[in-house]
Structure 1
């Protein structure tokens, strides 16, 4: 298959889809060809190399700026118009002489949202024949809050500062603002952030009013095409990626979950090894070909990386629940003070003064542990305020003396002040080999800031309040049970491509 020259012309869709700026790159030859559609708010020009790669492999690559972004006219309203605009674009593609009618919707992050709503919400004649969704942003509510309702402050502030209510992007906007005012995110109310940024961000306040979670996952059960879901263990959308894969009702669903951050292979974690370097572009193309020809085996398959072990396991591998023994170091009685919150960006633990967290630790592991699956903490505790967040952070203290974050969970609870209760904090998925000699440190705190907004402890909305109260906490250390999913024996490695393409 010959490649297209770097200066090969592109075809503009233009007014065919309400004037949205769209490029088409065609393979050499007469066609017709299967098409790949990528709709993005991050500038279609950034995807030229990706489009050339698809075209070299026989796909017509269609890349579009979503409404109101970069060269596309209209008003930018995140998540608002993607089903309608994607529908118009898909119908246009299928009418073109170079299209053979087959369509793959692809994208990462917000672009994955565009692909998914086209697959799950568009009329039948516009739906793609296959979907590749990498680190998918399922919706505005899913991106803004944890399932417990706790606000994801830092990630959303960074995204809205960079992309919100503007035609172009400034990826460094929040970092520049924090350099000028390190306490930027501590100022109240949080809905006043646009004024402190010196930006007009009318959609910022509305972001926090949206609580419509789970729409796409519920509709995924009725999907009618194959899915390839790709995510990272260190991505903030990991749980959403896995939930989408679990719920998918199409003829086949594949999952690839590596030791990566939101930028996937470009953002490897400290637990990534040589075996975790995957050529995603090549894998996408090979999967798309098999998906379009019906060669994929039915059912859910895929691969997940074992961080620190430099190997891959079949997707769906989960360890057996095991309670890890912990002993209290200090802080069974501590104060969660929103004026001095436990920081999400600092793994250091203060050694003096009034405790700001309950701290527990395990003895050194006598042998390696392969922890694969969902972890959780069960405990009994009391807060002297009617509203309280409980943040649990699990850290591996390696034999070399380094601290490595393994998992974090944040739970919001509303109940009468001073009432002791038992509850569970979900820590999310872990896929990590822990070496012999590693100690596990568990921190139980009232805040995880600035990754998450501070609970003011007054019962008021954390995004609109201007008043904060300290909250005294008491943890029954004997009740704390850390449940880890541990594989009973050393696993055998599999090939990720084999699991994805089977």
Structure 2
């Protein structure tokens, strides 16, 4: 591992390994577990790492070895139904009980000193929140890296299917625990067949040619309503409410789970939990690759502080973020920095109402001054506000996704020039900036939209356009709208959060389209669920006056 990353701390201990230990779950299912430990006398705290992705690469060296070298026992366990563990894998129903059963087993181990922490990314974060629902007294610290707490939001945006997420999670959970070669073969098979799968009509069952029969995946894809009893107990948001276990959160601006991290941070802050937040220039996967030296240092400092009593590595501020556009780190007292979360806030987007609106104009410009409204005609007021612009979205030729907060290797900042040249993508661009504009906080869009079919998706994106005209995505959001007749539908669409500095000479661009495929399954335009739709109907989407891009105050 030290040949891959520079800047890792020096090894403190040689590492021992006990593979293949069997931990009994509450129902007797065997949970296969590996134990890494420092080869030295004395007591050391324990880290619990539970994973559905196997116990080999990258988990063994990256979590088992590296943390054991620093003076921790590391218990690396395969979730039930994966990696040789008994029982059947279920995306959420078994994790709270299985985590507690593992802690009960730990209490009987002669090397366990009664001090426990947890660490891990993605689903390995979900199992931490599951343990935190009823935290055992031994649990003294958590480090949730690019973590999940709400499976519904991983697979759906409102009722719209996050198609690419579903397929990539499916291949990971179904094959990664089988070993490097089988997983690589399955991932390559999915990549080769991706175009056919995401273009199939209907979508239901189309993934089987690449992934085989994955019953839980079919279930999560075909239950779009968060209120469906199917999702009962899936969200672990409540675990952060009143949690007394010190919790460090790590994400990246282009992490597919970034919004879930910001939500949990806000909950911890509102209820007084001890927490810290690190946000880097990373995607879901690059946080554990290019970003690993920073992520490991952050995680190690937090665990040493709360499990070993050594607070010397903690940074002085609660929040550290990477500011895009200037490629620099910024230490902040809170997130968002303009206003701390209020006691009655419901999510991260409530943390601030300090926004600067940028307004689109019919000629494609973006201005900070609200265009003068036309004089009201005599007689009754018109029912429909004037149109700004319109475009035709064709689900048979869906607008492609380019970069952004994805799980795939194509995630992150990308050149949007080819995308913006399409006729089904609108852009509104501000003038060249005479001085830098800095935004730190949640971004959103106020939309007023009508359609000729009554159904539409709207994908809205903030971009930074440099002096050469290269348009790079900063953050984005998605909404599924239904309109009645000619009356527009009005909505505030969250576009995630960012810390970004637009240099002088650059321009702010607002991009709007009818989708981002295959990140989201295309809206068929017929009102049918995308998983079952066979017929497709193009939709004319019209923006009306009243739209605005809402950026947090700069400076």
8 Å CA contact 2:356–2:552 kept in 1: the answer is: yes
Unpaired segments ≥5 residues, structure 2: 1-9, 339-353, 365-387, 404-415
Q: What's 1:48 paired with?
A: 60
1:134-173 to structure 2, matched below 5 A, reads: 134-146=145-157, 148-164=158-174, 168=178, 170-171=183-184, 173=186
Separation in structure 2 between the aligned mates of residue 176 and residue 256 of structure 1, nearest angstrom: 35
CA RMSD, 1 decimal: 2.8
8 Å CA contact 1:194–1:204 kept in 2: the answer is: no
Q: What's 1:28 paired with?
A: 39
Q: What's 1:303 paired with?
A: 320
Moved more, 444-453 or 337-346: 337-346
Q: What's 2:355 paired with?
A: 321
Q: What's 2:255 paired with?
A: 235
CA shift for structure 1 position 83? 1.3
1:209-248 to structure 2, matched below 5 A, reads: 209=223, 211=226, 212=231, 215-248=235-268
Distance 1:348 1:382, change over 3 A: same
CA shift for structure 1 position 293? 5.7
CA shift for structure 1 position 239? 0.9
1:46-445 to structure 2, matched below 5 A, reads: 46=57, 47-49=59-61, 50-121=63-134, 124=136, 128-146=139-157, 148-164=158-174, 168=178, 170-171=183-184, 173-180=186-193, 182-197=195-210, 199-208=212-221, 209=223, 211=226, 212=231, 215-248=235-268, 249=271, 251-266=273-288, 278-292=293-307, 301-309=318-326, 310-314=328-332, 315-318=334-337, 320-329=354-363, 332-345=389-402, 347-349=416-418, 355-445=423-513
Separation in structure 1 between the aligned mates of residue 194 and residue 446 of structure 2, nearest angstrom: 38
CA shift for structure 1 position 358? 2.9
Separation in structure 1 between the aligned mates of residue 359 and residue 433 of structure 2, nearest angstrom: 10
Distance 1:198 1:79, change over 3 A: closer
CA shift for structure 1 position 64? 0.7
- The alignment status of 1:483 with 2:544, answered yes or no, reads no
8 Å CA contact 2:481–2:489 kept in 1: the answer is: no
Distance 1:251 1:184, change over 3 A: closer
Separation in structure 2 between the aligned mates of residue 283 and residue 407 of structure 1, nearest angstrom: 25
Separation in structure 2 between the aligned mates of residue 4 and residue 29 of structure 1, nearest angstrom: 7
CA shift for structure 1 position 166? 8.1
- 1:330-368 CA-partner distances (Å, limit 9, x unpaired): 681211211111111282457889x32333211112211
Distance 1:158 1:301, change over 3 A: same
8 Å CA contact 1:382–1:420 kept in 2: the answer is: yes
SS of residue in 1 equivalent to 2:331? strand
CA shift for structure 1 position 176? 3.2
Separation in structure 2 between the aligned mates of residue 453 and residue 339 of structure 1, nearest angstrom: 11
8 Å CA contact 2:439–2:552 kept in 1: the answer is: yes
Moved more, 172-181 or 73-82: 172-181
SS of residue in 1 equivalent to 2:205? helix
- The alignment status of 1:10 with 2:18, answered yes or no, reads yes
SS of residue in 1 equivalent to 2:88? coil
8 Å CA contact 1:165–1:202 kept in 2: the answer is: no
Q: What's 2:518 paired with?
A: 450
Distance 1:266 1:436, change over 3 A: farther
Separation in structure 2 between the aligned mates of residue 487 and residue 198 of structure 1, nearest angstrom: 46
- 1:429-466 CA-partner distances (Å, limit 9, x unpaired): 01111111212222222211111111112222122222
Q: What's 1:474 paired with?
A: 542
Separation in structure 2 between the aligned mates of residue 295 and residue 30 of structure 1, nearest angstrom: 19
Unpaired segments ≥5 residues, structure 1: 269-275, 489-502
Separation in structure 1 between the aligned mates of residue 176 and residue 14 of structure 2, nearest angstrom: 33
CA shift for structure 1 position 116? 1.3
Separation in structure 1 between the aligned mates of residue 239 and residue 14 of structure 2, nearest angstrom: 41
Separation in structure 2 between the aligned mates of residue 307 and residue 282 of structure 1, nearest angstrom: 21
TM-score where L is the length of structure 1: 0.86
Distance 1:38 1:350, change over 3 A: closer
TM-score where L is the length of structure 2: 0.78
SS of residue in 2 equivalent to 1:90? helix
CA shift for structure 1 position 53? 2.3
Distance 1:364 1:338, change over 3 A: same
- 1:202-243 CA-partner distances (Å, limit 9, x unpaired): 222201316248832233112121100100011011111011
CA shift for structure 1 position 163? 2.4
Separation in structure 1 between the aligned mates of residue 165 and residue 265 of structure 2, nearest angstrom: 23
8 Å CA contact 1:385–1:418 kept in 2: the answer is: no
How many residues are treated as equivalent by the alignment?
474
CA shift for structure 1 position 323? 2.0
SS of residue in 2 equivalent to 1:332? strand
Distance 1:43 1:174, change over 3 A: closer
8 Å CA contact 1:227–1:250 kept in 2: the answer is: no
